């Protein structure tokens, strides 16, 4: 695992699937810096809903200088990678990770920025629980309001991450949220071993420390003192029968086997 150990870590998965928890657990490791979200690719591609200032954003106006989007990505992407390297160095850590739910959509973009490679950690969750949790939080700038459109967006994320896993199995690791919260030590031992790192039990105690920083992420994880299973199965009470049936039909879930394909 020496090759894997030398590579940056890219974390992605649908909203409300546990990416913020993984981010904090990684950052609590003595060798890995994984700070709060920085929306580089989302800003680069202008992938926001109903942004009234989209026409005056930096990445929207740079093409007027005669630059192509690939050139803009490479110029500013190098600076973004350098920012991660500097941040890791300031934290006294040799390795960096980037966490964004949207990373599953931009993995080919990451391949351009990191030609020497990276490892992909795909965080997945029971899709009905992810939808139930998303209804609570909302994210109106990133997620459409209609429930059917939320389901379709979830399907896009799952398919994108799963497709990349299938194409690059040796460089991809799937973390199932339910496994993480039910058996955190076992799940993290497997993850860190695959990353080429030693499992450090203190990550489960320090993941919510103020040292993890604050930024764009799940507002509830900050107040979570320990990994717990309270949100497992919340769809049973938080979703209506109509919503459940709609999600099952769109996602192709059958027989109540609510697992990511």
- The string of pLDDT tens digits covering residues 132-172 is 999 988 788 889 999 999 999 999 999 999 999 999 999 99
Which segments of the chain does DSSP mark as H helices, in order?
A: 2-5, 19-27, 40-45, 58-61, 69-90, 107-113, 127-137, 147-167, 177-182, 184-194, 203-206, 235-238, 241-251
- Contact call for residues 34 and 99 (beta carbons, < 8 A): yes
Task: Kindly state the tokens that stand for 71.
Answer: 């050139």
Q: What would the pLDDT profile of 203-251 be if each residue is shown by its tens digit?
A: 999 998 888 877 777 777 766 778 888 889 999 999 999 999 999 999 9
Backbone torsions φ then ψ of 210, nearest 5 degrees? -60, -20
In the chain, the domains with their CATH numbers are: 2-251 (3.40.50.300)
pTM above threshold 0.85: yes
């Amino acid at each position: 695992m020496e090759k894997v150990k030398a590579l940056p870590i890219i974390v992605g998965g649908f909203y409300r699937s546990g990416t913020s928890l993984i981010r904090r657990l990684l950052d609590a490791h003595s060798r890995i810096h994984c700070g709060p979200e920085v929306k580089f690719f989302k800003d680069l591609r202008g992938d926001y809903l109903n942004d009234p200032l989209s026409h005056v954003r930096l990445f929207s106006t740079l093409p007027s200088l005669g630059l192509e989007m690939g050139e803009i990505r490479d110029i500013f992407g190098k600076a973004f990678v350098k920012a991660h390297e500097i941040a890791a160095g300031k934290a006294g850590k040799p390795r960096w990770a980037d966490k964004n739910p949207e990373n599953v959509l931009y993995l080919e973009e990451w391949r351009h920025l990191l030609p020497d490679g990276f490892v992909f950690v795909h965080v997945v969750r029971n899709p009905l629980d992810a939808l139930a949790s998303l209804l609570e939080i909302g994210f109106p700038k990133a997620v459409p309001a209609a429930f059917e459109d939320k389901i379709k967006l979830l399907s896009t994320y799952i398919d994108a991450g799963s497709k990349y896993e299938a194409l690059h199995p040796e460089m991809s690791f799937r973390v199932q949220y339910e496994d993480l919260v039910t058996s955190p030590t076992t799940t993290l031992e497997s993850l860190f071993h695959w990353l080429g790192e030693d499992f450090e039990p203190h990550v489960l105690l320090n993941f919510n420390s103020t040292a993890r920083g604050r930024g764009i992420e799940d507002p509830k994880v900050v107040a979570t003192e320990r990994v717990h299973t309270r949100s497992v199965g919340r769809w049973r009470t938080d979703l209506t029968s109509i919503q459940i049936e709609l999600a099952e039909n769109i996602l192709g879930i059958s027989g109540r086997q609510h697992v990511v394909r």
